[in-house]
Each structure stands twice: as C-alpha cells, then as structure tokens.
Structure 1
Amino acid sequence: TWDVKTTTYNTSGVKTGYVVDYDAGEARSQMSFAYTGGILTNRTITNSDGSASEASYNTSGEMQHVRNTASDGTMFVLGGTGDNTLTGGSNDDLFEGGTGNDIFEFSGTVGNDTILDFTDGQDRLDLSAYGYTTLADLQNASAISEVDGNTVIDLGADGSVTLNGLALSDFDSSDLFGLPS
C-alpha cells in the first residue's frame, strides 16, 4: 500500500511534484514536472540500512542519472546517455558520466571524489563555487597536480577531485565550466 505524503506547487500554482511513501517509508518515489525537456521523473529508494538509490528519467524514458548511496554515505553517480550535470555528497564519491557532454559540479565539502571517465574536450568541471574558472586559477592556488597519471585538484579542507586516467598535460581551461565572458 502507498499514500501520497506531499504535493508541491510553484509560485504560479502549478504542481511541480509529489512524494509517495511505500511500506512505512522504506522506499520513496518523487515525480517532478519542472524540466525543460518535458517531464522528469525522479525515483529514490532508501533501504533500512541507510543505503539509497536515486534515478532520473525524462519523458522519452532516457536515463538522466543514477545515484547510489552506500550506508556510509559514499555515492556512485552514473550519468545517462545525454548531457548531464552530476553532483555528489560530502563523502568520497565515484562518478561516471557516460556518453554526452557532462558537467561535474562541486561545491561545499565534497570529500575525495573520483571521476572515472572524464573525457577531455567533452566533459567539464564546475569548480566556480571555489573561485576556479580557469587553469591559471588552479595553478596560482597550487591546487592542481598529477599523481600516478591522474589529474588531481586539491580543494583544501573541502576535499579533492581526481580525474582518473587524465594526464595534467591534457587538462586546460576548456575543461572548466564557468569561464568568464
């Protein structure tokens, strides 16, 4: 059995989503109607051990992203076939963007995250929350290095981002989102 717990509306009175609880809150599903490409469906399941899984699909049934969270808070974030914006949590997360031109967005405390499939010239990092919009910004702050063939960006107390398999010599300002105009 299930029942609708919450219905949300925007300022114009248009329904933007609802939350459905199943079996005493062991699973949760949310449908959102605020998507420029049509209806976007979000599904989140929280297991009794604290682990969770989230997925988003557009009206064509194309997966937009999947986010699995282990009981220790570590996330595995998987992008779909399109152009995705992927975010993680405050623990050591793993990202795989899949195909498309993906943006990996980081802000606040992120842990020591790893992007498994960063594609130079296609995918981009959004580090603008830390004031990094160019390669020079990272170099001036001594925040970028290469470790064992991987580009590593040091965010200080907020964590780090490792671009697995991407040499530092292949990383440039075009790989960053938020370039000044």
Structure 2
Amino acid sequence: MRDPAQLNLLAALASALAGMGSALAAAFMIRLQRRWSSADALLRIAEVFESAAFRKYKSIIYRLDRNAFSTWNEEEVASVNAWCAHLDIVSVLIQSRQISKVAFLNLYGDVTLRTIYQIAPYCNHQLALRGKQFLLPLRLLAGDLVRTWKRRAHKKRYPLQIGFPDQPRLRVSPDLFDSDDAVLAFRADGAIR
C-alpha cells in the first residue's frame, strides 16, 4: 500500500491535471464561440450590404458630385446618411475585433473606400455642424483601413487602385487617401480633430 501523503499528492496532481484540461477546453470553446460570432456578424453585415436598398444607396453614392453636396436632393442625402450609419456600426465591430479587418477589407473594402472618398466633403460639413463625435468610429477606422490597404497592396494581396463602375476615369488609391484634403480632414487617425 502507498503512503497517505503519496496518495494525497497523486490526488492533487490528478485534480490539477483535470482542472488544466477543463481550462484548456473552456479556452478552446471560447475561441470557437468568438469565431462563430465573428462569422455571424460578417454574414449579417453582408445581408445589409447586399440588400436592394443598400445596393441602391451605393449606386447613388458612386454617382454623386462629391463637392456639390449642398445641391444633393433628399434621396441622395438619405442614401448617404443610411450608408454612413451602417458603416459606423461596422466600424465599431471591426475596432472591437468582432470582425477581422482583413476579412472586411477583402469583402467590402473597395465599396467602403470608394464611398468614403465620395462622402468625405459632406461628412466634414456635417462634422462641423454635429460635433466631433459624428461618425467617430468610421473616421477612426478610415486611416487604419487605408494603412492596411497599402500594406496588402504592396504584398500584392489587394489592388493598389480601385475604380468606380460608372466613372472609369476616377480611381482611388492609398496615395489619394493620404493626399486628398477632404479625406484627410475626415480621417481621425487615432486623434479627434
């Protein structure tokens, strides 16, 4: 027979191993749950972007004269506002790491970047009226998204230039996003301007 001290040590060791196994299983389940949550969030975002209403908004935004926002009609302003509200929510999900920034860039980066370019002058005007909190999540994400775009483009993992379907001569690039006054004013880049 074994010594009671040895039996207690073996029981404590077995208990510690079982506890460690439970902790590892719990960590694995939490990680799996996060992945499911992230995939679910990305699917829900895709449902909105692919809806008939948002396809219409995108089409309207692509055709806007970005600098003539004071002459936009009611439908154009409503389209931009609805689009911005959705992008603001998406931005919060990306910043809180509920959605991968690279996955989002691969799926909807081109659409997001085109629309940011188009709406920047209007949003800057609204920012002056509504205050620094206006579209803050999107403004914070914009610079980060451009930096990710630039890195991935240099690795040949993302196009360096993005065109507009209805305006073949208009192309956006990270350099344009780093030099366009309206886009630079829109981007918060980690500090509230």
Relative contact order higher in (CA < 8 Å, ≥ 6 apart):
2
Higher share in strand: 1
Same fold (TM > 0.5) = no
TM-score in terms of structure 1 length: 0.26
Higher gyration radius (CA): 2
* TM-score with structure 2 setting the length: 0.25
Task: Name whichever structure is richer in helix by fraction.
Answer: 2
